[in-house]
Amino acid sequence: MINLEAKIKLLAEKKLIGQHLEMTFSQNRTFELWRNFMPIRKEIINNLTADLYSLQVYGPSFDFSKFNPDEPFEKWAAIEVANFNTVPAGMDTFIIPGGLYAVFIHKGAASEGPRTFGYIFGSWLPTSGYSIDCRPHFEILGEKYKNEDPSSEEEIWIPIKQII
């Protein structure tokens, strides 16, 4: 059984530059997105860190309690930047609005991620006193991220709001 500790953090607005695709969980195009982005990411010259952002934008009708693998959403491969003064050709800008997030550390291969997300949405969230907020969800792939390596680590950021 998974038991992850959540850290509740207040995120300040973040500016990102990257690429995006529309997809569903049943027709996952994540590999295609990253395959296109990784060779050209060095063209982003005003980045704040080397961290990569894997970001999901779900519509207001997306219902996590009644998971539908065919519900479309937008996925981004991006890097945080200081400003939008220089945007490379073929890339777009995105602003993550500030707000409250539950942050988890996923340890292990990226392909084991569904287990971690299952715990977050199926066990942690229902007893947390929070609900999902309609803002972007994202993962930060930092220096400890090694894709399918069992020692890999990534941060999972889930937008939340207090249940009143």
- Spans of all domains in the chain: 7-162
Closest CA to 159 of 125, 126, 127, 134: 134
CA distances from 88 to 44, 67, 92, 128 (A): 6, 36, 8, 41
Chain-centroid distance of CA 12 in Å reads 15
* pLDDT number for residue 57: 97
pTM, entire model: 0.94
Gap between the Cα atoms of 29 and 72, Å rounded? 11
Name which residue leads in pLDDT, 2 or 13. Answer: 13
State in Å, rounded, how far the first CA of the chain is from the last one.
30
Helix (H, G, I), strand (E, B) or coil at 133: coil
Q: Domain 7-162 adopts which CATH fold? A: Multidrug-efflux Transporter 1 Regulator Bmrr; Chain A (3.20.80)
Average pLDDT of the residues in 50-76: 92
